[in-house]
Structure 1
Amino acid sequence: MVTVTAPEFRGAHRLNAGQGRSWRVLLIASSLVLASTSGPAEVLKPWFAEPTPTLVLDRLDGARIDLADLRGGPVIVHFFATWCAPCIEEMASLNALAAQQSVQVTILAVDVGEVDARVRTFFRERPVSFPILLDRDRSAMKAWHVEGLPTSFVLGHDLSPALKAEEPLDWTGPAVIRVLTRLSQRKDGTLAGETTDGNQSREEIR
């Protein structure tokens, strides 16, 4: 079992995954580097997975959720822990994103390795409008190859891999909103201007 301890510095806490990976370009071949602002970084990069990992977890307050039932629109899967200082700020940012009418995206926040009571207390003081899922034994974290917290994944309409953030992200920043809006408008799960034939390209959004 991977032991997760609270970081002693601001930023994503890196874990030692110790696992080899075999990647193939499926949907995206471009890096999306979003303009930085004060506060959390704004960096989304390509996420290549084959296939997208499954995700079936108990909800903190409600029925079990299966990611496979959420086809039809973009989905953000966000891994966090309540002891992670950057996660607290990002959780507020995700909740602000959920309140925006201009972006249609489903958000799933996955708490890693904590007891239910601690998570419930945390969200009693900081309520959010999206589901909180419980990865009690860290099996989802391992299946998704999460190496640090916070880590977020963005899926396309058919739940295909799209983008990934391994640092705290300002989800309401103009560049991020623009990327999510474009993704929500692409029924094939890709972003306008990107290739699907494996040819690499790079797009900087300002």
Structure 2
Amino acid sequence: MYDERTREIARAALTAGESLNSVSRRLGVSRATLRDWRDRSGGAVRTNDCPRCSEGKLPAAPFAHLLGLYLGDGCLSALKKGVYSLRIACDDKYPRLIDEAEAAVTAVHPSRPVHRVQAVGYTSVLSYWKHWPCLFPQHGPGPKHLRRIELDDWQQEIVRVHPMEFLRGLFDSDRCRVVNWTTRLDEFIGPKS
């Protein structure tokens, strides 16, 4: 949103002791943004860096887990100014899974906060970013179960390398805590002759 020159001016003014209000009025930057620039170590915060649109790095294992969660109980919603909200619905019976969903979102997009929104019986893990559709091209109009869902080649490669994380996301979103590793073969093969 803001160029690096604006960030440098703001950080220099804040370091020199100028108040958030004064810098905000002078540069037209919100106090929350200024506070974020001031408090983050390592200088500039680049919230718009998209690992798909730029040369950024996408953490593959957390993304595989998040992709499974998104395909199961996630949705993207378009908001104002081209921003999207990623919402993952998590059953309140499994608080550890809510924590893990939040950790996956944070790992994939660490420069923005992740919110929890309580509803009846579930908690939504929520994050805002313009580039969520870049990471989830499966987004489209209408319910996911009525659309054809295919993974892009780059997503397939991540899932190939991290299949357990992807499956865990799918299982977690389906509230499935067990996998039935045994089957009765005669059900599938038929009775012996």
Shorter-chain TM range is under 0.3
Larger RCO (CA within 8 A; separation ≥ 6): 1
Query: Would you tell me which structure has more strand in proportion to its own residues?
Result: 1
* TM, length-normalised to structure 1: 0.26
Query: Would you tell me which structure has more helix in proportion to its own residues?
Result: 2
Q: Larger Cα Rg: Structure 1 or Structure 2?
A: 2
